[in-house]
Amino acid sequence: MKHRYLPLTKQDEAAMLNAVGADSIERLFADIPASVRFQGVLPMSSAHDEPSLLKHMRDLSGRNADADRFASFLGAGIYDHHIPVVIQHVISRSEFYTAYTPYQPEISQGELQAIFEFQSYICELTGLPVANASMYDGATALAEAAALASGASRRKRIVVSRTVHPEAREILRTSARGLGLEVTEVGFLDGVTDLEALEAAIDESTAAVLVQTPNFFGCLENVRAIEPLIHSRGGLLVVSVNPLSLGLLEAPGKLGADVVVGDAQPLGIPMSLGGPTCGFFAVTEALMRKIPGRIVGQTADRDGKRGFVLTLQAREQHIRREKATSNICSNQALLALCASVYMSVMGKQGMQEVARLNLNKAHYAAGRFPAGTKVFGAPFFNEFVLKLPEGATVKELNARLLGAGYIGGYDLGAAYPELAGHVLVAVTERRTKEEIDGFVREWEAWL
C-alpha cells in the first residue's frame, strides 16, 4: 500500500530485506507464536483520504455547541476566557510540539528555558519559591499534594473541605486508597468551609488540610483563619487556587500555604472538553526535594554559558523505581507553554486588569438577578451560586437557555444533594453586558 506518511518503496523493501537476510516481512514476525497471531481484519472503519477525513471531522465538530456560537456561563473548573492569538502561533512551532521530554539538554534549551520561565511565573503568582514543570491537571496535582504531605509528615490523615471541586475530591479518594490515606471531609456554612468543623477534624495525625479558593462555589475561603488551625497541629496547608484570580487576590504563599496547586486552564488553554489542561505545583523551600514531577534548574555549560537542565532527578521514578513517591513521568509541557505565553502577554498590568474585568462582570451579573436568587453571602471572584424556585430544575432551565444561544451554569445537585435546584454561574471577561442582560432576561422569562 502507498501512504503519504510511509516512504518505503518496493525497491527499498527488497534491499532492506536482503540486508537483513529475510525473504519477507512476514519472516520478521516468526517469533510470534501462531496461536496468538491475529487473523483477519480489525473491526474498524476503513482508511479515509484527506478530504473525506476533514469532512468527517468537521461534521463531528459541527454537532457540538461551541463557545464561538454560544455565550457560555459555565465554569466549575473550566472557563471560557479570551485566548490571546499569539499563543496558538507559539505553540504551533513544531520544534516545541514535536519534541520529547528534554532529555538531551544541549538541543532542548528552548523547552528547558520555557519551563524554567514557567516555574518562575508560578512562583511569582503563588508566592512560593519552588515550582515544578507542571502536572496532568489541577485535580491530580491536589491528590499529589496530599501524597507529598503524607510523606513529609509521616502522617496518614488528610482533611479536605467539601468546597473543594467534587471531581478533585473523587480523584483524591481514588488515590488515597492506593496510598492507604484516610480522607476526612469537612462541610460548609454560607458557601465557605465551616471553620469550627475544620478545627474539630484536625488532630496530631493530620498530614494536611486541603482547601480551594476561590472555592467550588466561587467564594473566597478565609485562608488566614485556616492557616493556624493546621500549623498549630504540625500539618501542612495545601491551597488550590484559580491562577487568574491571583491578579487580584493575595498569593497563598503569603498566607502561609506550604503547597499551592491549581489548574492553569484559565491562562490561555482551550476548554477542549476539559483536557488537556495543565496542573501547577508550588512548595516552600523546605519541601523542595519532595516535590513530584519534572523540575528544571539553571546551570552553566563547559564554557560557563548559562543553560538549563532537568534536575533533582533523584526524586523520580526512573531512578527510584518502586521507592518513588510518585509515578509521574511526563508533564504537560505544551500547556505549560500556553500558560507561560499567556503570562508573558498579559504581563504585570494585564494580569491585574483581566482579574478586575472578571470581578466587575461577575458582580454586575450577580446584581441583575432578583433579590434572594443568589444564596451565599461570602465574597466571590467570578462565580456565584443561584437558587431556582421550588420545583424548577437546572436541566430544564439549561435546555431553554441552550435554545436561546446560552450555555447555562453547573447543576450543583449531582455533587451536593442538599443543593438540588442550585446552579453555579461563571462570568468571565468574554461576556458582554448585552450577553449578561440577555441571559438574565431569558432566565426570568423561563421562571
Partner 1 sequence: MKPEKALIFELSRPGRIAYSLPECDVPEVDPSAVIPVGHLRSEPAALPEVYEVDVIRHYTELSRRNFGVDNGFYPLGSCTMKYNPKINEDVAKFPGFAKIHPYQPEESIQGALEMLYTLQNDLAALTGMDQVTLQPAAGAHGEWTGLMLIRAYHESRGEGRTKVIVPDSSHGTNPASATVAGFETVTLPSDARGMVDLEALRQAVGPDTAALMLTNPNTLGLFEERIEDIARIVHDAGGLLYYDGANSNAIMGIARPGDMGFDVVHLNLHKTMSTPHGGGGPGAGPVGVKSKLAPFLPKPVVGLHPDGTFYWDEDRPQSIGRVKSFYGNFGILVRAYAYIRTYGPEGLRRVSEIAVLNANYMMHRLAPYFDVPYPGVCKHEFVLSGKNLKSAYGVRTLDVAKRLLDFGYHPPTVYFPLNVEECIMIEPTETESKETLDAFIDAMIQIAGEAASDPQLVLNAPYTTAVKRLDEATAARKPVLNCSC
Q: Which of residues 84-143 bind partner 1 (CB under 8 A)?
A: 84, 86, 88-90, 92-111, 113-117, 119-121, 123-125, 129-131, 133-134, 136-140
Least distance to partner 1, CB of residue 328, Å: 6
Evaluated on CA atoms 128, 133, 138, 140, the torsion sign reads: negative
**155, 157, 294, 422: residue in contact with partner 1 (rule CB under 8 A):** 294
Least distance to partner 1, CB of residue 426, Å: 10
86 to 33, 74, 93, 98, 337: CA distances (angstroms): 53, 25, 11, 19, 12
Query: Could you tell me the three cell numbers for 180?
Result: 492507604
Tell me which DSSP letter residue 106 carries: G
Write the interaction track for partner 1 spanning residues 54-83; mark x where CB under 8 A is met and - where it is not: x-xxxxxxxxxxxxxxx-x-x-xxx-x-x-
Does residue 286 belong to the site contacting partner 1 (CB under 8 A)?
no
The residues in 243-282 that bind partner 1, with binding defined as CB under 8 A, are 246-251, 254, 263, 270-278
Query: Could you tell me the three cell numbers for 426?
Result: 461563571
The residues in 375-394 that bind partner 1, with binding defined as CB under 8 A, are 379-380
Least distance to partner 1, CB of residue 327, Å: 4
The residues in 333-362 that bind partner 1, with binding defined as CB under 8 A, are 333-335, 337, 341, 343-354, 356-357, 359-361
Residue 96 or residue 231: which is nearer to partner 1 going by CB? 96
Least distance to partner 1, CB of residue 232, Å: 19
* Stretch of residues binding partner 1 (CB under 8 A), selected from 185-193, 198-206, 383-391, 429-437: 429-437
For 142, residues 6+ apart whose C-beta sits below 8 A from its C-beta are: 164, 168, 171, 172, 210, 238, 240, 261
Within 10 angstroms of residue 16's Cβ, the number of other Cβ atoms is: 12
Alpha-carbon distance of 400 to 380, in angstroms, equals 27
* Stretch of residues binding partner 1 (CB under 8 A), selected from 184-192, 193-201, 234-242, 317-325: 317-325
The residues in 188-227 that bind partner 1, with binding defined as CB under 8 A, are 220, 224
Does residue 305 belong to the site contacting partner 1 (CB under 8 A)?
yes
3-state secondary structure of 308: strand
Supply φ then ψ for residue 219, to 5 degrees: -85, 150
Question: Residue 219's closest CA among 335, 366, 120, 332?
Answer: 366
Residue 23 or residue 204: which is nearer to partner 1 going by CB? 23
Alpha-carbon distance of 278 to 337, in angstroms, equals 10
